[in-house]
Amino acid sequence: MKRSFFKVRMAIAMLCVTLVSACHSGRHESTELYDMTTDALEVPAPEAMNTESYAHIKENGFQDATRTPLSTFSVDVDAASYANVRRFITSGQKPPVDAVRIEELVNYFDYDYPQPTANQPFSVTTEVGICPWNPEHYLVHIGLQGKKLSTDDLPASNLVFLIDVSGSMSDPDKLPLLQNAFELLTDNLRPKDKVAIVVYAGAAGLVLPSTSGSDKEKIQSAIENLQAGGSTAGGEGIRLAYQVAEDNFIKGGNNRIILATDGDFNVGVSSDSEMIRLVEEKRKSGVFLTVIGFGTGNIKDSKMEGIADHGNGNYYYIDSEMEAKKVLVTEMGGTLFTIAKDVKIQVEFNPVAVKSYRLLGYENRLLEDKDFTDDTKDAGEIGAGHTVTALYEIELTDKKQHTSPTLKYQNQTPNEVAHTSGELVTLKLRYKKPDADVSKEMVQVITKDQIRTETSDNFRFSAAIAAYGMLLRNSDYKADATYDKVIKWAYGAKGVDLSGDRNDFIRMVESTQNLGEVTVAENE
């Protein structure tokens, strides 16, 4: 279906929902494409209309650099939280506190980091400047830039669209928007790519066997004919999708399942822990899993994020056709092709220079310090062209600290490196190539000499977004931040903004000023 008819499709879908609700007809329709009885455009029961759930986030606090000199976490390029927050603001309400993940707000945007050199999959950029919401502190800005690849240079893709067609997906902002999003992706497939479509409701079925990207009409016809109805056997659907992906595996290619759902699994394997164990087992096959969330009122955010994190993939939320184009067309390389997996960051703070520190966001990505060198521990992935940004708020000190003998900056006797080098932190990164089991390590030192009075647009814009997230969460550490200041900081750092995303952010902050208090979420 042509995208020019998208609004018509949405209008028809909304009309159908209204008619079904009014008539209570209970009619059942069966699709022509798979052997599964469905309740087309089934209306959720009133008590199920507002069942969104988010994992609780306990905000990172300040850590004493002497007692806790190491900070270790997995990278995160998920962007679902930003689009979901925008959905709430657009609808005239603030998001639940736990829907706001600061690192995902920050990492929604591209930053002007240099491309990697030599054989490195990503570059590392660091910067230190005054913290805008607390001028007595400093911000350490860490930026990673994944290697950019043109679409023609991407390896062949073996994709399986795993589509939720249960009754909860009948709303216009779910299946109709999902269909349009996947048609956008189909338009950009190459002849060497192939796509299969698996659907699940009360059971799972194969709608389209693996089909060449050159046969776009056949793929799009299968997408257009999907209908919503029934319960949600997500576990069965995932198993079938992995089987199809493995049967059509391309050695050296991009083998990936794209799961599109509102996250409501309620038949068979359905609990968070069961689903996570399932995808952890299946990721050993070399098939990656990307999760894309849709819809309002029924989002199971924590479940979708957990599945993506443990399935060697990323989690996105699509709230509009504009976002669909961003995720599946403009940033297709990063969304679909992984250039580095199990990427971990460990920062060691020099207690002679740093009194305390706080990592902004990444609360659900924290790792044990010992996990950094453990190659069996799963971590995040970086896609082609992806940027990853992390921020630490730090408090400096000139006082000599008591030290520990096992670390670079800490010894029982005064350590010359710690006291005379001017080093603030040592930054370490570990990653694996997509098909490797052993990590490589990169090391970079940040010194006091790198503290800048004039900071980059990257630094100031990312700080503005982080401050916005703290305001939405009513953070104990927001200090002097206000929405007016966030707008000022962001406006002064928006740069060229070819995509318009930074201007959109400023408008969203302006809209937020007119809303009430933060909504408190009910968490799983």
Quote the pLDDT of residue 517.
Answer: 52
Quote the pLDDT of residue 411.
Answer: 57
Coil, strand, or helix at residue 371? helix
Highest mean pLDDT among 234-243, 272-281, 352-361, 408-417: 352-361
Q: Which residues of 76-87 are buried (b: 16+ CB within 10 A; e: fewer)?
A: bbbbbbbbbbbb
Model pLDDT for residues 72-112, shown as the tens digit of each residue: 999 989 999 999 999 999 999 999 999 999 999 999 999 99
CA dihedral 390, 393, 397, 400 (to 10 degrees): -50
Model pLDDT for residues 393-430, shown as the tens digit of each residue: 999 986 554 455 567 776 545 566 666 678 999 999 99
Q: Which residue has the higher pLDDT, 278 or 259?
A: 259
For residue 409 the two structure tokens come to 């900056």
Quote the pLDDT of residue 473.
Answer: 97
Mean pLDDT (the chain) is 85
Quote the pLDDT of residue 231.
Answer: 67
Model pLDDT for residues 459-477, shown as the tens digit of each residue: 999 999 999 999 999 999 9
Quote the pLDDT of residue 312.
Answer: 87
Residue 7, pLDDT above cutoff 70: no
Location of structure tokens 């902050």: 509
Quote the pLDDT of residue 268.
Answer: 55
Residue 300, pLDDT above cutoff 90: no
Quote the pLDDT of residue 74.
Answer: 97
Residue 271: other Cβ atoms inside 10 A: 12
- 457 falls in which pLDDT band (50, 70, 90)? very high
The percentage of residues in the chain with a pLDDT greater than 90, rounded to a whole number, is 65
Residue 458, pLDDT above cutoff 80: yes
* Helix or strand holding residue 381 (H, E): strand 380-383
- 43 falls in which pLDDT band (50, 70, 90)? very low
The model carries a pTM of 0.85
Section 344-354 average pLDDT: 97
Among the ranges given (328-337, 402-411, 490-499), the one the predictor scored with the smallest mean pLDDT? 402-411
Report the alpha-carbon distance of residue 106 to residue 120 in Å, rounded: 24
Do residues 159 and 182 touch, judged by C-beta distance below 8 A?
no
Please provide residue 199's backbone torsions phi and psi, each rounded to the nearest 5 degrees. Answer: -120, 160
Quote the pLDDT of residue 21.
Answer: 37
Beta bridge partners of 125: 143
The percentage of residues in the chain with a pLDDT greater than 70, rounded to a whole number, is 82
* Cβ within 8 Å of residue 423, ≥6 positions away: 350, 353, 409, 417, 445, 446, 447, 448
Model pLDDT for residues 51-76, shown as the tens digit of each residue: 889 999 999 999 999 999 999 999 98
Report the alpha-carbon distance of residue 363 to residue 73 in Å, rounded: 9
Q: Which residues of 273-286 are buried (b: 16+ CB within 10 A; e: fewer)?
A: eebbebbeebbeeb
Quote the pLDDT of residue 282.
Answer: 86
Quote the pLDDT of residue 455.
Answer: 97
Section 340-363 average pLDDT: 97
